[in-house]
Structure 1
């Protein structure tokens, strides 16, 4: 089964828990059927389902491998965690157990969170070990935020360490989140330690992940208080200090809760693209959606960059670009000029090289446009602001006044990527745009990604534009899958 942005037929993809084994990615994920008692009760009784893939595209769906518990169990819902191979030749799964309905697992009306444990010999059939379930050490941590355990072997300390999305006792609500730490020598008995990372900057650090690439260590976590995004930190040693690069993210709002795994020599970051309520561009973002993956590469200075996987590129084998699409120069120093192309496919890959001239205010590619290039989606490059943004028109449902058009929102909120135009050679950007259904994902120079939802699929025009400047577009290609 080939997938660009995978979604199960009977649900949505929540947090991913990737694990590499025998050259394959075993992508466990939280399977949400959205059967909560209210429309805001996402993640209601999520099971762990499993996808197996070598390239992120050709996927085997193994369905449920960790079912939820019953009303009397702590794991009435099974949330995020990790998988590790132990010294006993068994695979150990650590996951978050939470029961929102049984008061036995509540305190002061709030559900407690626990770390639960399961074992397997084949990564598909799992045996729960409920007697090993444990909560937070309340001499250090709060019991309500004790989730997303990530377990790894710490070679320096010769032990197993567990990172958690946690909060310190008595800390502020806004900045009290930390990456908690537990330690074990047998994967059975765990002792709480002082936080692994405590920047006093976020409400929580969800889905922590840790890996080494080259001579650098990287700590990954996701936040929703400052903004919805996955961050990374860098260090020369596993003990830190952990520093934030100027650009410390892999994507924007529509790429959340990323966790990574490396199979062979390829490290991938797997996340989810949130749906929008009502399947509408104007709806609020929801929890869960479609699977998405970026390949992670390391730059010379140690910073991380992302690119599309070879597997994703390779499924677009059939070129459908019209023969009359040639290199084009677009110029207007007094406003906007567009180059319109007819025949955009609902599922496609678009490639192009855009060279911009010094002083150009903005330029980019328009997708799913009407023939006047007035309504549709825009991926816009803005050199003056050192950013790439996603935009659409109309930006909102029309209001009673002409100026009710959200003109005070110059692009889609949180769909913005910093971009260093001065570092470019010859003022050129090479773009790859992957489109399937309601998802558009842009890659620039195999370094930066920007993903968005785009629910209007009926418009069939696309093309390029410039505002107050000049661009030259060449190597224009569109491909579809066979």
Structure 2
């Protein structure tokens, strides 16, 4: 039942809920490339819809990198259209996504914007990029410290009490040991167009990257989710005696903006191999919460590239999260 395409790899994805329909937007690349690592630089955003998170109907592709109209032009997404999120604003939908430029060899990441009236036909906003790295708090490009300027995976949610929006991002703080600067960045807006960066929302010093962040309230408790990799655990964190895993990490919080706590933190669907990655938690049609992720590496360590079926999340009385048997899905 999982979403697999014979001719394309699928990896990071995000949802938009419209009535009973779950719209899934996902990164994709042609399997004809041969080497899965080439997918990152040959990417577009695919689209499918479902009402049960299991049976998916493909729809027309949503986005692809922009083609420069002249030699002097290099749009913010001329090389890649990477991971993002979708929010609703009245009768329109806004997709925030990660763009990189050909002229910069994809090393510098920015937040771009597209809009739609129907979730199918998307139009890129000429204001893109709408947000760039702020060096007051975040690392800029320094190849002696890291392989890129991380400022990606924008995840947006509306404040519950006012016309105010919050954005979380994959980023790196500009202080601390280089291998532990991975953080969840923060920005805010009153109109979804003009954004103001602020200090990192969470920077534990544990990882070089904390990818695809998300906040969710499950059973009245708030959690910050992000994906981490075995290869990017910091030396300081390993020195604490932790067992390095790859997959979805969660941190309990006092509210949607934290503070978030390292005590009680845990993993969902993670293992040493990295079977699943870039996990998202989503409320199913039955009201239960589920983990979905892209299928990353098989038992031989080969890239798979497809979306998992929903895995039911169980919440303990102490707030700890775990996975129930898959057969209890929606």
How many Å separate the matches in 2 of 1:274 and 1:289?
8
8 Å Cα contact 2:54-2:310 kept in structure 1: no
**Matched-pair contact (CA < 8 Å) for 1:11–1:34:** yes
CA apart distance, 1:32: 2.1
The CA deviation string for residues 271-299 of structure 1, in whole angstroms up to 9 with x for no partner, is: 111145xxxx44x3437344342122322
* 1:269 counterpart = 2:265: no
Structure 1: segments with no counterpart, 5+ residues: 314-482
1:207 aligned residue: 212
Tell me whether 1:8 sits opposite 2:9 in the alignment. no
> Which whole-Å CA distance do the structure 2 matches of 1:41 and 1:309 have between them?
32
Give the deviation of 1:179 after TM superposition: 0.2
CA distance in structure 2 between the aligned counterparts of 1:189 and 1:154, rounded to whole angstroms = 16
Superposed, 1:128-143 pairs within 5 Å as 128-133=124-129, 134-143=131-140
CA contact (8 A) 2:227 2:246 kept: yes
Paired with 1:19 and 1:309, the residues of 2 have a C-alpha distance of 23
**Structure 1 residue aligned with 2:275:** 254
Q: 1:199 to 1:275 in 2, by over 3 A?
A: closer
Aligned match of 1:17: 14
Q: Deviations 1:215-238 (Å, cap 9, x if unpaired)?
A: 210111001213321101112323
Q: Distance in 1 between matches of 2:254 and 2:88?
A: 26
Secondary structure at 1:251 match in 2: strand
Kindly indicate whether the alpha-carbon contact (under 8 Å) linking 1:97 and 1:115 is maintained by their aligned counterparts in 2: yes
Q: Distance in 2 between matches of 1:299 and 1:98?
A: 41
Partner of 2:117: 121
Q: 1:157 to 1:168 in 2, by over 3 A?
A: farther
Residue number in structure 1 paired with 2:240: none
Could you say what the CA RMSD is over the residues aligned between the two structures, in angstroms?
2.4
Where does residue 303 of structure 1 map in the other structure? 320
Counterparts of 2:8 and 2:260, CA distance in 1: 37
Whole-angstrom distance in 2 between the partners of 1:199 and 1:178: 7
CA shift at 1:245, angstroms? 5.8
In terms of fraction of residues, the more strand-rich structure is 1
How far is 1:155 from its partner? Answer: 2.1
Whole-Å Cα distance in 2 between the matches of residues 150 and 35 of structure 1?
31
Distance 1:195 1:160 in 2: 16
1:192 & 1:7 partners in 2: Cα distance? 37
Note closer, same or farther for the CA distance 1:288–1:39 as it changes in structure 2 (3 Å cut): closer
- Deviations, residues 84-120 of structure 1 (Å, cap 9, x unaligned): 111x421110000123xx22x35xxx62101000111
Aligned equivalent of 1:161, options 162, 166, 173: 166
User: In the alignment, is the contact (CA less than 8 A) between 1:151 and 1:160 conserved in 2?
Assistant: yes
Residue of structure 1 in register with 2:155 after alignment: 150
CA positional deviation for 1:311: 8.2
Asked whether the equivalents of residues 215 and 256 of structure 2 are also in contact (C-alpha less than 8 Å), the reply is no
SS in 2 for 1:288: coil
Q: Residues 254 and 58 (structure 1 numbering): CA distance in 2 closer, same or farther, change over 3 Å?
A: same
- The more displaced of 299-308 and 161-170 is 299-308
2:246 maps to which of 204, 207, 228? 228
Question: Relative to 1, partners in 2 of residues 1:289 and 1:180: Cα closer, same or farther, differing over 3 Å?
Answer: same
| TM, length-normalised to structure 2 | 0.82
Unaligned stretches of 5+ residues in structure 2: 69-73, 141-148, 234-244
Measure how far apart 1:169 and its partner are. 2.2
Residue 301 of structure 1 aligns to a residue whose secondary structure is coil
CA contact (8 A) 2:52 2:284 kept: no
User: In the superposition, relative to structure 1, how do residues 189 and 16 fare at CA in structure 2: closer, same or farther (>3 Å)?
Assistant: same
If you compute each CA radius of gyration, which structure gives the higher value, 1 or 2?
Answer: 1
Distance verdict in 2 for CA 1:120–1:311, change over 3 Å: farther
> Normalized against structure 1, the TM-score is what?
0.57
Counterpart in the other structure of 1:41: 38
Contact persistence 1:57–1:312 (CA under 8 A):
no
- Alpha-carbon contact 2:182-2:208 (below 8 Å) kept: yes
Instruction: Give the whole-Å Cα distance in 1 for the aligned partners of 2:93 and 2:176.
Output: 35
**Cα 1:204–1:57 shift into 2, 3 Å:** same
For 2:292 and 2:322, how far apart are their aligned partners in 1?
A: 14
Asked whether the 8 Å contact 1:154–1:161 carries over to 2, the reply is yes
1:168-183 map, 5 Å: 168-183=173-188
Q: Render the CA deviation track for 1:383-430: whole Å, top value 9, x for unaligned.
A: xxxxxxxxxxxxxxxxxxxxxxxxxxxxxxxxxxxxxxxxxxxxxxxx
Q: Does structure 2 retain, via aligned residues, the 8 Å contact 1:84–1:151?
A: yes
